[in-house]
Structure 1
Amino acid sequence: MARRDRRAIDTSERLTGAEKAAVVLLALGDESKPIWSMMDEDEIKEVSSAMSNLGNVASGAVETLMLEFVEMMSSTGSLMGSYDATQRMLAKFLPEDKVDGVMEEIRGPAGRTMWDKLGNVNETVLANYLKNEYPQTVAVILSKIRSDHSAQVLGALPEEFALEVVSRMLRMEPVQREILDKIEETLRTEFMSNLARTSKRDSHEMMAEIFNNFDRQTENRFLASLEERNRDAAERIRALMFVFEDLSKLDPGGVQTLIRTVEKDQLALALKGASDSLRDLFFSNMSERAAKIMREDMAAMGPVRLKDVDAAQQAMVATAKDLAGRGEIMLADSGGDDELIY
């Protein structure tokens, strides 16, 4: 489930069924134990996932829901659903190992079945795990997930091993239910649980993303203040940030894709505040005529406000990230030494 906007939810109409149930259970607190005990495991996972991603719920929305579900409750305060709140709530009435299992399911890749979840695991991560398994086991697994994802995983496996897996898939007969169950259980205990434990988001990465959305003056002010208090933290955040000048790490194909995607007036405004080297990179990836027109447009703008340039540059960075997310370009880490692998 996608993480919900952290602004307060002020109306119950914005909530899904699972989210409404999560709000009611949070409001009931310890009194919710009988309700939880009547749910099956899938329902617990669905409601727990909704609860952990809930964010702020305004008191008015809570009151409306409580009036719907529990007539004797007419009002309640605002609530905050989070991983920690969900884990504390589950720990009150579920065994510790079951709580850990539910929370690992939430933190892990999305999907109701094991095969759905595998389909949302990065192909390189999955391939690194599968390359140590028997080819026949890998063949069964790849036959159960989406064909496009299987293709990506095969491409990430060592070539000889991948060919052996393909050979097994071609000769594969229907798999017995007991074997599938055993493979699913192994994946759950050995792979998914480790993946969930290691996929907790780094706080510096989260702050770098927030800092990327600051205007230049606010970003500089926060980083300068943070450096005075914790230089190491400031340096880690700066290294993780992807900023406009990092577009210089794009290869020619990536630059040309970005040029075709960004509105010409936005590109001109963004380049107005770029370094000479970055301007030259973009101009060198245009036709001579297009580069001449772009330079003329930039000159015709005259002085421009810094905040307008910042906004245009941030929009270009956001566009680059969207293109990277769709696999059309590849962004290099701003703190790394490697150039972009396209």
Structure 2
Amino acid sequence: MSEPTTDNSNPVAASSRVISQAEKAAIVVSAMLRSGLDIPVDDLSVDAQAQLAKELANLQFVERNLLTEVIEEFSSEVTSIGLNLRGGAAQTLNLLEGKISTETAERLRKEAGVRKFSDPWDRLNISDIDELIAIIEAESIEVSAIIISKLDVSKAAALLGKLPGKHARQISHAISMTHHVTPQAISRIGQSLLAQLDNLPDRAFALSPEERVGSILTATTQVLRDDVLDGLDESDPAFAHRVRQVMFAFKDIHKRLHPSDISQITRSINTIELATALAYAQKTGPNATATFILENLPRRMAENLSDDIAHMKAIQYEQGEAALNAVVQAIQDLVTSGVIAFRREEEAAMSSAQTR
């Protein structure tokens, strides 16, 4: 029996050969990619992606009539779909994101063995700094170096800034030895770290106890701060020490801020409020901070503030404390937004020693 001939002028003859579903998929994907469409091929399994790549590589010439036939078949199948509910538990939970409580969503993910992030490093990048510190303190220097390398630059910098100086230097040096680490090893490490995070108990509060107490005391008056801290010193000295480490008050400005960042404060608080805070500080105690601020402002601005302070009447207690807290809040907002950063403990201690 003779082989059938193909006449490209005949649509039926041109599309008469039987092609597999895999070939049809490759034809459709190729046509869409050449049209500039973005196709989430990475949603397919690894095996399916590999098979698709092979079929694409085998495509050399597709008759126009065959291309039209395959595209029309594909379009017909797509338009006949009324609702696509494929995706299993993962897609269902993503669909319900924000519609059910966080606690319910997390419980369902754990029961179904579903991860919210396909890449463990995406999850690690949005993790709390304190959670990452706890992990790094339990890991080797080499693994810690990989963690720092995989995090976003801002997150990595914040994390290093929270570690003791010696530990941070060891990790930074170890980064130079990570260039031979394979992608497979990086993936395994990420999955292991993610398992550690997923096994942590759920927390009712986003902030640690010392951070919550510190934030509250920062917003109160100096008298109340001192009274509460004195009480904590008697009942729980270790907790009192941790509260002082995270707490930030007006009297801490000259210890915690870089001199070059002082000018940023004036852009976030009005001049009268700043002058009030400085005048009140000069009369009631935190004079070192007032001097630090004035010395590190532009000369003309410092002279104008000093002149305003000299002509101020006696400042009432409530007015003065409110002005101090306004300056502190402005600084905290700048730190939170990343405009400025607090000094590390070692720098602050060195500066304090030089001041004395």
Q: Is residue 270 from structure 1 mapped to residue 281 from structure 2 by the alignment?
A: no
Q: Is residue 116 from structure 1 mapped to residue 122 from structure 2 by the alignment?
A: yes
Mapping for residues 71-220 of structure 1, pairs under 5 Å: 98=110, 114-121=120-127, 122=129, 125=133, 129=139, 131-133=141-143, 138=146, 142=150, 158=171, 161-165=174-178, 167-168=179-180, 182-190=188-196, 193=199, 201-216=207-222, 218-219=224-225
Worse overlay, 246-255 or 43-52: 43-52
Secondary structure of 2:342's match?
coil
User: What's the CA shift string for 1:297-317, capped at 9, x where partnerless?
Assistant: 122231223222222211211
Deviation at 1:330, TM superposition (A): 2.8
The question of whether the paired residues in 2 share the 8 Å contact of 1:271 and 1:279 is answered with yes
Cα distance in structure 2, aligned partners of 1:215 and 1:286: 26
Deviation at 1:208, TM superposition (A): 1.9
Q: Look up the match of 1:55.
A: none
Which amino acid counterpart does residue 205 of structure 1 have in structure 2?
Answer: E
Unaligned runs of 5+ in 2: 1-87, 162-167
Which amino acid counterpart does residue 333 of structure 2 have in structure 1?
Answer: D
Q: For 1:256, which of 259, 263, 285 is the aligned residue?
A: 263
Cα distance in structure 2, aligned partners of 1:192 and 1:204: 24
Cα distance in structure 1, aligned partners of 2:332 and 2:194: 32
User: What's the CA shift string for 1:217-250, capped at 9, x where partnerless?
Assistant: 55456557x4698364884445542111100212
The question of whether the paired residues in 2 share the 8 Å contact of 1:213 and 1:314 is answered with yes
The question of whether the paired residues in 2 share the 8 Å contact of 1:245 and 1:278 is answered with yes
Which amino acid counterpart does residue 142 of structure 2 have in structure 1?
Answer: N
Cα distance in structure 1, aligned partners of 2:334 and 2:117: 25
User: What's the CA shift string for 1:99-120, capped at 9, x where partnerless?
Assistant: 7x99xx9xxxx97852322222
Worse overlay, 253-262 or 40-49: 40-49
Q: Which has the larger radius of gyration?
A: 2
Q: Is residue 40 from structure 1 mapped to residue 86 from structure 2 by the alignment?
A: no
Q: Is residue 246 from structure 1 mapped to residue 256 from structure 2 by the alignment?
A: no
Q: Look up the match of 2:75.
A: none
Q: For 1:302, which of 303, 313, 319 is the aligned residue?
A: 313
Q: For 1:230, which of 235, 254, 259 is the aligned residue?
A: 235
The question of whether the paired residues in 1 share the 8 Å contact of 2:142 and 2:171 is answered with no
Q: Look up the match of 2:62.
A: none
Secondary structure of 2:220's match?
coil
Deviation at 1:319, TM superposition (A): 1.6
Worse overlay, 243-252 or 199-208: 199-208
The question of whether the paired residues in 2 share the 8 Å contact of 1:268 and 1:298 is answered with yes
Change (3 A) 1:168 1:228: closer
Deviation at 1:294, TM superposition (A): 0.8
Q: Look up the match of 2:297.
A: 286
Which amino acid counterpart does residue 133 of structure 1 have in structure 2?
Answer: V
Which amino acid counterpart does residue 265 of structure 1 have in structure 2?
Answer: I
Q: Is residue 328 from structure 1 mapped to residue 333 from structure 2 by the alignment?
A: no
Cα distance in structure 1, aligned partners of 2:175 and 2:239: 43
Root-mean-square deviation (CA, aligned residues, Å) is 5.1
The question of whether the paired residues in 1 share the 8 Å contact of 2:263 and 2:297 is answered with yes
Q: Look up the match of 2:13.
A: none
Secondary structure of 1:301's match?
coil
Which amino acid counterpart does residue 307 of structure 1 have in structure 2?
Answer: E
Cα distance in structure 2, aligned partners of 1:269 and 1:293: 13
Mapping for residues 4-83 of structure 1, pairs under 5 Å: 40=89, 43=93, 50-51=101-102
Give the length in aligned residue pairs.
Answer: 243
Cα distance in structure 1, aligned partners of 2:239 and 2:172: 42
Cα distance in structure 1, aligned partners of 2:195 and 2:99: 20
Which amino acid counterpart does residue 120 of structure 1 have in structure 2?
Answer: I
The question of whether the paired residues in 2 share the 8 Å contact of 1:332 and 1:339 is answered with no
Cα distance in structure 1, aligned partners of 2:176 and 2:212: 40
Unaligned runs of 5+ in 1: 1-38, 53-85
Q: Look up the match of 1:7.
A: none
Worse overlay, 122-131 or 316-325: 122-131
Which amino acid counterpart does residue 40 of structure 1 have in structure 2?
Answer: A
